[in-house]
A and B are shown apart, each in its own frame.
Chain A
Amino acid sequence: AQTVTQSQPEMSVQEAETVTLSCTYDTSESDYYLFWYKQPPSRQMILVIRQEAYKQQNATENRFSVNFQKAAKSFSLKISDSQLGDAAMYFCAYRSARGGGSEKLVFGKGTKLTVNP
Chain B
Amino acid sequence: DVKVTQSSRYLVKRTGEKVFLECVQDMDHENMFWYRQDPGLGLRLIYFSYDVKMKEKGDIPEGYSVSREKKERFSLILESASTNQTSMYLCASSFAGEGWREQFFGPGTRLTVL
Could you list which residues of chain A lie within 8 angstroms of chain B, going by C-beta atoms? 6, 9, 33, 35, 37, 43-47, 50, 52, 91, 95, 97, 99-101, 103-105, 107-110
Contact = CB atoms under 8 A, between A and B. Distances in A.
Contact of A103 (B40, B90, B96, B107): B96
Given A101-B50, A107-B43, 15 more contacts: A6-B42, A35-B100, A44-B108, A50-B102, A95-B101, A99-B97, A100-B50, A103-B31, A103-B94, A104-B58, A105-B92, A108-B42, A109-B41, A109-B42, A110-B42
Closest 10 CB pairs of A and B: A109-B42, A45-B105, A107-B43, A107-B42, A33-B100, A44-B107, A104-B45, A47-B102, A110-B42, A44-B105
A104 B33 contact: yes
Contacts of B31: 103
B42 A103 contact: no
A91 B50 contact: no
B106 interface: yes
Contacts of B33: 104-105
B103 interface: yes
Nearest to B56: A101
Interface residues of B, number: 27
A18 B100 CA distance: 27
B98 interface: yes
A100 B35 CA distance: 18
Contacts of B108: 44
21 contacts: A9-B40, A37-B105, A43-B107, A44-B106, A44-B107, A50-B102, A97-B98, A99-B97, A100-B50, A101-B50, A101-B56, A103-B31, A103-B96, A104-B33, A104-B45, A104-B48, A105-B33, A107-B35, A107-B42, A108-B42, A109-B41
Interface string B28-70: 0001010100001111110010100000101000000000000
